[in-house]
């Protein structure tokens, strides 16, 4: 008998399969981050510079990671 684990992918309502229980959490974290990034246009953090007049300039934060 073979067992595999099917994880629902919220991006496309399909399933992603993993072979072991040890892979489940890593795959869920990866899928959650991909979902989050797609909903934040791959720029979840912004740098807001405010000048002396109170005007704001927003730019996407580029992480070193």
pLDDT tens by residue, the chain, 65 residues: 999 999 999 999 999 999 999 999 999 999 999 999 999 999 999 999 999 999 999 999 987 66
Rounded Cα distance between 64 and 18, Å, is 30
Residue spans of beta strands (DSSP E) within 3-65: 5-9, 14-18, 46-50, 56-60
Residue 6, both tokens: 């099917």
Q: What is the pTM of this model?
A: 0.71
| Cβ atoms 18, 27 nearer than 8 A | yes
* CA dist., res. 31 & res. 25, Å (int): 10
Q: Where are the domains of the chain?
A: 5-60
């Amino acid at each position: 008998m073979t067992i595999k684990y099917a994880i629902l992918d919220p991006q496309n309502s399909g399933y992603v399969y993993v072979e072991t229980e040890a892979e489940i959490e890593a795959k869920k974290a990866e899928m959650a981050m991909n979902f989050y990034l797609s909903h934040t246009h791959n720029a979840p953090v912004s740098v807001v510079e405010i000048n002396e007049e109170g005007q704001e300039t927003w730019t996407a934060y580029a992480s070193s990671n």
